[in-house]
Amino acid sequence: MSRWTPASRVARSLGVTMAVTALCATAALAAGCGLGGDDAGGQAGESTPVVLAPPPEEALLLYVQRRLLQGFVADCDEAERPGDIAKQCARFVGERDGMRAYQLGPTFAPHTRLIILAQVDDAWTVVHLERRDPAQPRASGIPWPLRIGATVVVTITDDCLRVREEPGLDGREIDCLENGSVVTISGGPVEAGGLEWWQLAGFEGWSASNWLRYPEEAAATDPTATPQP
């Protein structure tokens, strides 16, 4: 497991120019960067320094370094041969409620993971991670975290989405929802059998979250690759 990488090194690794340099270069913000000048009260040298949160790609870099033990390219479209061969790269695919979603995978190859980040205090944290198999059928849309009361759409790719009496693959099947069915979440989540289950209003049963999407995501092109429960 690699050591924590300082923000300055992370920024250079990502090819990101730290915005504080540009801010300090402007006379209007020179005082805020601690470069002298008078503050609003006319006191020189006492202004508060500008503090910037690290970019979300830093969390991706740390994940790749610590978990996958590989090099990292912040943008798959900027990967170059031969230097970036055998590295992992990321591609931003969407944003919702302050969260950001990225595809992650080997450079010059299909992505193998989808990661959702959320900002906690001054750092970005992984709140959802799923592996993907390009050979498996995929539901459309980004699997944003669900919540009770949300209206969602079934995005099953084959057959129908099973509604079970109890959360878990061993629960008795009581209904099966066709692709495009609109349902409301009334309870959950419950973790069972490696899946996240939500109770559906009007059905008195539970379905796995892997095939449930917010309506605006139902027709999106960023699919999951979790086998049908």
Question: Is a pLDDT exceeding 90 seen at residue 14?
Answer: no
* Mean pLDDT for the stretch of residues 170-181: 95
Q: What percent of the chain has pLDDT over 70?
A: 72
CA 78 to CA 129: how far, in whole Å?
23
CA 101 to CA 90: how far, in whole Å?
10
CA 167-169-172 angle, 5° bins: 75
* Mean pLDDT for the stretch of residues 162-188: 96
CA 134 to CA 112: how far, in whole Å?
7
CA 126 to CA 117: how far, in whole Å?
5
Residues 118-127: tens digit of each pLDDT: 998 889 999 9
* Mean pLDDT for the stretch of residues 53-77: 94
Residues 34-49: tens digit of each pLDDT: 434 444 444 444 555 5
* Mean pLDDT for the stretch of residues 167-185: 95
DSSP readout, 70-91? --EES-GGG--TTTTTT-EEEE
DSSP secondary structure code for residue 171 in this structure: S
pLDDT for 128: 93
* Mean pLDDT for the stretch of residues 186-212: 95
pLDDT for 101: 96
Question: Is a pLDDT exceeding 80 seen at residue 144?
Answer: yes
CA 150 to CA 211: how far, in whole Å?
14
Residues 90-106: tens digit of each pLDDT: 999 999 999 999 999 99
Question: Is a pLDDT exceeding 50 seen at residue 157?
Answer: yes
Residues 203-213: tens digit of each pLDDT: 989 999 999 99
pLDDT for 136: 81
pLDDT for 48: 56
In this structure, are residues 63 and 69 in contact, taking their beta carbons and an 8 Å threshold? Answer: no
pLDDT for 216: 87
pLDDT band, very low/low/confident/very high, at 64 (cuts 50, 70, 90): very high
* Mean pLDDT for the stretch of residues 46-61: 75
Structural domains in the chain?
17-54 (no CATH), 55-132 (no CATH), 151-217 (2.30.30.40)
3-state secondary structure of 13: helix
Q: Which of 3-17, 90-104, 179-193 is predicted with the least confidence, judged by mean pLDDT?
A: 3-17
CA 147 to CA 152: how far, in whole Å?
10
Tokens of 207: 């379905």
- Cβ atoms within 10 Å of 185's Cβ, excluding its own: 20
Residues belonging to the chain = 229
pLDDT for 47: 56
pLDDT for 186: 97
